Structure 1
Amino acid sequence: MTLLLLAASIAILLLLRVPVAFAFLGPSLVYMLIDGQSSGMSLRQVAAAAQSFPLLAVPLFIFLGALANHAGIADRLFNFAMALLARVRGSLGYVTVGVSVGFSWMSGSAVADSAALGKVQIPTMVRNGYSRRFATGISSTSSLIAPVMPPSIPAVIFAGLAATSTGALFAAAVVPALLVAVGLCVVVWLMLKREPNVSRETFDLATLISTSKGILLPILTPVIILGGILGGLFTPTEAAGVAVAYVLLIALIGRSLTWRGLLSAIRETVMTTGAIMIIVAAAALLGYILARERLPQMLTEQLLSLTESPTVFLLLVMLLMLVLGTVIDATAVLVLVVPVLLPIAQQYGIDPIALGVVLILSLMIGLLTPPVGTVLFVTAAVSDTKVGEVFKGALPFLAPIVIVTVLAVLFPDAVLYLPEVLGL
Structure 2
Amino acid sequence: MSWIGLALLPFVGAMLVLTGLPAFLVLIGAAGLGAIAAATGGDGALLTALPGRLVGLLENDLLQALPLFVFIGALLNRLPLAETLFRTGLRLTRGTPAGPSIVALGLGALLAPMNGSVAASVTMLSRAVYPRLLRHGVEPVEGLATVAVASTLGVVVPPSLVLILLGDAMMGAHTIASNAMGRSERIINTQDIFRGVLGSAILFVALCVIATTWIRRRGKPVSAKASRTDLIVSILSCCFIVGILGGVAAGLFYAVEAAALGATVLLLSGLLVRRLDGAALAKVLAETLALTGALFALLLAATTFTLVLRSLGTDHLLSRLIADLPGGELGATLVVLAILAASAFVLDAFEIIFVVVPIVMPGLLMRTSDAVWVSVLAILTLQASFLLPPLGYAVMMARSAMADPVRTWPLMRALVPYLAVHALVVAVTVAVPGLVHLGASPQSAPTDPSVSNEQVEQQLQRLIPDITPDLSLPNISD
Compute the TM-score of the two structures, normalised by the length of structure 2.
0.78
1:228 deviates by 4.4
Superposed displacement of residue 132, structure 1: 1.1
- Could you list the per-position Cα deviations for residues 26-79 of structure 1 after superposition, in whole angstroms to 9, with x for gaps in the alignment? 021122133224987556555554442212211111212322332222112111
Name the structure 1 match of 2:142: 134
Q: Which has the larger displacement, 70-79 or 12-21?
A: 12-21
What are the Cα deviations for residues 147-201 of structure 1, in whole angstroms up to 9, with x where unaligned? 21122111111122233422222222222222222222232233225xx5x3113
**1:187 maps to what in 2?**
211
Amino acid at match of 1:200: P
Letter in 2 for 1:186: I
Residue type of the partner of 2:22? P
**Cα distance in 1, alignment partners of residues 249 and 140 from structure 2:** 41
Q: Is structure 2 residue 168 aligned with structure 1 residue 160?
A: yes
Instruction: Verify the 8 A CA contact 1:300 1:344 in the aligned structure 2.
Output: yes
The equivalences for 1:6-405 within 5 A come to 6-16=8-18, 17-36=20-39, 37=44, 45-46=53-54, 48-163=56-171, 164-192=188-216, 198-202=219-223, 207=226, 209-229=228-248, 233-307=252-326, 309-369=328-388, 373-386=392-405, 388-389=407-408, 391-392=411-412, 393-405=414-426
What is the aligned counterpart of 2:427 among 406, 420, 423? Answer: 406
**Distance between the aligned counterparts of 2:436 and 2:270, measured in 1?**
36
- Tell me how far 1:418 sits from its aligned partner: 1.3
* Superposition deviation, residue 225 in structure 1: 2.8
Instruction: Provide closer, same or farther for how the CA distance between residues 209 and 331 of structure 1 changes in structure 2, counting only shifts above 3 A.
Output: same
Q: Give me the whole-angstrom Cα distance separating, in 1, the residues matched to 2:370 and 2:227.
A: 44
Q: Pick closer, same or farther for the CA change 1:295–1:412 going to 2, 3 Å.
A: farther
The letter for the 2-side match of 1:34 is A
Q: C-alpha displacement at 1:98, in angstroms? A: 1.5
Alignment partner of 2:376: what SS? helix
Which stretch has the larger CA shift, 317-326 or 180-189?
180-189
What are structure 1's unaligned runs of at least 5 residues?
A: none
Contact (CA 8 Å) 1:56, 1:237: kept in 2 or not? yes
Identity %: 22
Moved more, 91-100 or 383-392: 383-392
Taking a change above 3 Å as real, the CA distance of residues 349 and 119 of structure 1, as seen in their structure-2 partners, is same
TM-score (structure 1 length as normaliser):
0.88
- After superposition, what is the alpha-carbon deviation per residue over 1:263-289, rounded to whole angstroms, capped at 9, x for unaligned? 332222222222222222222222112
Distance verdict in 2 for CA 1:217–1:377, change over 3 Å: same
Q: 1:234 to 1:214 in 2, by over 3 A?
A: same
Cα distance, 1:209 vs structure 2: 4.5
Where 2:9 maps in the other structure, the secondary structure is: helix
Q: Is the 8 A contact 1:140 1:375 kept in 2?
A: yes
Structure 1 residues 372 and 56, CA, compared in 2 at 3 Å: closer, same or farther? farther
Does the 8 Å contact 1:146/1:152 carry over to 2? yes
**Amino acid across the alignment from 1:341:** V
Higher-Rg member (1/2): 2
Partner SS for 1:178:
helix
Q: CA RMSD in A?
A: 2.9
Contact 1:184 1:397 (8 Å CA) reproduced: yes
Per-residue deviation at 1:6? 2.4
State the Cα distance separating 1:326 from its structure 2 match: 0.9
Query: In structure 2, what is the Cα distance between the partners aligned to 1:265 and 1:218?
Result: 21
Corresponding letter in the other structure for 1:103 = L
Show structure 2 runs of 5+ residues with no match. 172-187, 446-478
Cα pair 1:25 1:285 within 8 Å, conserved: yes
CA distance 1:341–1:4, shift in 2 (3 Å): closer
Asked whether the 8 Å contact 2:113–2:161 carries over to 1, the reply is: no
Is structure 2 residue 434 aligned with structure 1 residue 416? no
